[in-house]
Amino acid sequence: MQRILPRGEIESLDHTHIPRIFQAQERFVFQERANRLRQLAADSEISGYLLLMAHVADAQHEALAKYKDLPGASTEVIERAQAHGMPPLQATGWQRDATWLAILTDILDYVEKQTDVSDAAKAILQAMATDSKEHPEKLETLADAVLARFEEGIDAARAPFVMAALQVYWTRLSIDFDTEQLPVVSPFGVCPCCGSLPVSTVVRIGGSREGMRYATCSLCSTEWHIVRVTCTHCEDTEKIAFHSIEGGSEAIKAEACGKCNTYRKIFYQEKDQMVEAVADDLASLELDVLMGEEGFFRVNDNPLLWQQSSSEE
């Protein structure tokens, strides 16, 4: 009698198998981001902002360890996601509980206490902390807006802190989710766990991921495999070109698509083992300027840096 092997066991026997999903590691995800932000700040023209976001990442690290057992996807939601090939932790429309506001309050308090934070930033943090207690509906509305990526109605000064709290919330949901319950196939270009867009991609080194390109979710920190030289937005493979800053790091390029006129950054660990999807994307704004001059546009902002909406300029 032949024994039918479950999916996970089949993959363990196949040494050519490309791992599809990597969940964030609780001990490292935000701590590595904080360390990288500080490293990049040393030679950056936006060092002050990178150091501010490093404090945010430190606070995220503490919050992720503190807040556990969040209400996850129900059996009904998981079964529906499997049936329709959709992310089971879909961010838009998700019924958040009040824990995310507690996470936000902790982040605001932590960052506000740091001695090198500017008075202007502290004023924003204090105002948000007041709203968290007295007008939480304002923050709920902003959270809905950043998750849905509205083009207007997003306060660019507050959005990075709100997004930081939501990142902790969804990273916890994703870490606790059993990936065996993910649909076998998910929509291209979005996170298979929460349906959010990737912030950038990284070509990894070591083990089963050697030379493989993984996208990093801008919300839940999940990584998923995307074939190289493929547009991460429209999936085109014919009109791909790579751009970089002359004399800049060989570890950073922008992968541009001539079909949909979009780009995302791609980082190479073989050139710099310390690259981190969010931190390095944030620190390489010069490349964004170059791509804009070349007529390409970003599909989505960095989760820690939001553009002021046209209605608020």
pLDDT tens digits for range 129-164:
999 999 999 999 999 999 999 888 899 999 999 999
Number of domains in the chain: 2
The answer on 211 and 175 residing in a single domain is no
The answer on 172 and 146 residing in a single domain is yes
How far is the C-alpha of 26 from the C-alpha of 65, rounded, in Å? 7
How far is the C-alpha of 124 from the C-alpha of 111, rounded, in Å? 11
The answer on 136 and 68 residing in a single domain is yes
**253 strand-pairing partners:** 266
Length of the chain: 313
**262 strand-pairing partners:** 297
How far is the C-alpha of 193 from the C-alpha of 287, rounded, in Å? 29
Neighbour count for residue 16 (Cβ, 10 Å): 5
Task: Look at the block and give the residue holding tokens 């870490």.
Answer: 175
Q: Domain span at residue 32?
A: 21-181
The answer on 121 and 78 residing in a single domain is yes
Task: Return per-residue pLDDT of the chain as tens, 313 residues.
Answer: 344 434 444 444 444 578 999 999 999 999 999 999 999 999 999 999 999 999 999 999 999 999 999 999 999 999 999 999 999 999 999 999 999 999 999 999 999 999 999 999 999 999 999 999 999 999 999 999 999 998 888 999 999 999 999 999 999 999 999 999 999 999 999 999 999 999 999 999 998 889 999 999 999 999 999 999 999 999 999 999 999 999 999 999 999 999 999 999 999 999 999 999 999 999 999 999 999 999 999 999 999 999 765 444 4
The answer on 126 and 78 residing in a single domain is yes
What's the one-letter identity of residue 89? L
The answer on 113 and 30 residing in a single domain is yes
The answer on 229 and 134 residing in a single domain is no
Among 181, 216, 238, identify where a domain stops: 181
Give one word for 148, left, alpha or beta, with left for phi > 0 and alpha for psi -120 to 50: alpha
Among 155, 181, 207, identify where a domain stops: 181
* The model's pTM: 0.92
